[in-house]
A and B are shown apart, each in its own frame.
Chain A
Amino acid sequence: MTQGSPFDHQPDAELGAALREALAAEGEPAFVSRVLESATRMGLGSGRGTWWWVLETWARAGVAAALLLAAGATIWFNKASSRAQEATLEEVFLATAEMVAPSFPAAAASAPTFDRVLALSLEP
Chain B
Amino acid sequence: MRDAELAALAQAGDREAFGELVRRYAAQARRVARAVLGHAEDADDAAQDGFLAALRHLGRYDPHRPFGPWLMRIVANAATDRLRRRRVRAAEPIPQAMAAADAPPDREADRRAFHEALRRALARLPERQRIAVVLFDVEGYTHGEIAEVLGIPVGTVRSHVFHARRALRSALAAWRDWKEDVT
Are A7 and B138 neighbours in the complex by a CB distance under 8 Å?
A: no
A18 at the interface (CB under 8 A from B): yes
B139-174, CB under 8 A of A: which get 1 and which 0? 010110000000000000011011001101100100
Are A4 and B52 neighbours in the complex by a CB distance under 8 Å?
A: no
Q: How large is the interface on B (under 10, 10 to 19, 20 to 34, 35 or more residues)?
A: 35 or more
A48 at the interface (CB under 8 A from B): yes
B residues near A19, Cβ cutoff 8 Å: 31, 35, 118, 122, 133-134, 137-138, 168
Which chain B residue shows the least CB distance to A13? B137
A residues near B159, Cβ cutoff 8 Å: 6
B26-70, CB under 8 A of A: which get 1 and which 0? 110011001100001001100110011001100000000000000
Instruction: Give CA–CA (A28, B48) in the complex, Å.
Output: 12
Are B23 and A6 neighbours in the complex by a CB distance under 8 Å?
A: no
Instruction: Give CA–CA (A47, B9) in the complex, Å.
Output: 13
Given contacts A22-B119, A39-B15, contact A9 B48 (CB under 8 A): no
Q: Which of B15, B133, B169 contacts A36 (CB 8 A)?
A: B15
Which chain A residue shows the least CB distance to B162? A6
Q: Could you list 11 further interchain pairs (A-B, Cβ under 8 angstroms) beyond the known A12-B137, A39-B51?
A: A8-B161, A18-B172, A19-B31, A19-B137, A23-B34, A23-B35, A24-B27, A34-B48, A35-B26, A39-B52, A48-B13
A-B contact pairs, 22 of them (CB 8 A): A1-B172, A6-B161, A8-B162, A9-B142, A11-B136, A11-B140, A12-B137, A12-B165, A19-B35, A19-B138, A21-B115, A22-B122, A23-B30, A23-B34, A25-B30, A25-B44, A32-B22, A35-B52, A40-B15, A42-B52, A42-B56, A47-B13
By a beta-carbon cutoff of 8 Å, the part of chain A in contact with chain B is: 1, 3-9, 11-12, 15-16, 18-25, 28, 31-32, 34-36, 38-40, 42, 44-50, 53-54
